[in-house]
Amino acid sequence: MKKIGMAAIVMVAVLGGLTSCTKDNSGTSAASTTSITNTGAGNGGKGNGGSPVGNTRAILESGTWKVTGFSTGQSFEGYAFNFSDDGVVRVTNSGTMYTGSWATTAELQDIIHLEFGEESATLPALNGDWQVVNINANLVQVTGYGGKGGSFSFEKM
């Protein structure tokens, strides 16, 4: 009986130590300091140890973004992108608002799917699937996926 009682006390002490929390007073959130590079192959697309898709959604929903470095030369100067949790992306340019849809998936890589109508001559260039290759709180770099060429970045405004 003593052995069972002692084992239970040790188990409670160990579990209690594993589940205890401490307050972080640094004032820095993990999202603002963590950069995830998605390696895609070999580990189910989980990059640096965990799928950034949850992070991708949360990061894109966290502010207003601009497109930079679009490799096919299309200019998105003056366009502001706002991603909402209902799958709608709202884009404003010179006082005009456009809407499209967006989603994230994680199969072998983390993918952002964008879809815009023909109301804008510029936005349909972003239609399709984009693989997330690097992400942090202020930058989401993507490259074409599934036969789509090109690359660009979303930079937080």
Tokens of 77: 């100067």
Query: Coil, helix or strand for 112?
Result: strand
Residue range 145-155: mean pLDDT, rounded: 93
36 within domain boundaries = no
Is position 103 within any domain?
yes
Residue 3 belongs to a domain: no
Burial of 22: CB neighbours in 10 Å, binned 0-12, 13-18, 19+ = exposed
* Domain CATH for 99: 2.40.128.270
Residue 17 belongs to a domain? no
d(CA 39, CA 41): 6
Q: Does any domain span residue 47?
A: yes
Residue 119 maps to a domain = yes
How does residue 24 score in pLDDT terms, banded at 50, 70 and 90? very low
The total domain count for the chain is 1
Residue 146's domain comprises 43-156
Q: How confident is the model at residue 31 (pLDDT cuts 50, 70, 90)?
A: very low
Residue with more model confidence, 74 or 49: 74
Q: Are 135 and 36 in contact (CB under 8 A)?
A: yes
Share of the chain above pLDDT 90, in %: 55
**Does 119 score more than 70 pLDDT?**
yes
Tell me the per-residue pLDDT of 55-109, one tens digit each, with 9 for 90 and over: 899 999 999 999 999 988 889 999 999 999 999 999 999 999 999 999 998 765 7
Which pTM value belongs to this model?
Answer: 0.67
Give the closest residue to 125 by CA, choosing from 141, 140, 144. Answer: 144
Indicate whether 29 belongs to any domain.
no
Q: Which residue has the higher pLDDT, 12 or 129?
A: 129
Give a yes or no: residue 6 inside a domain: no
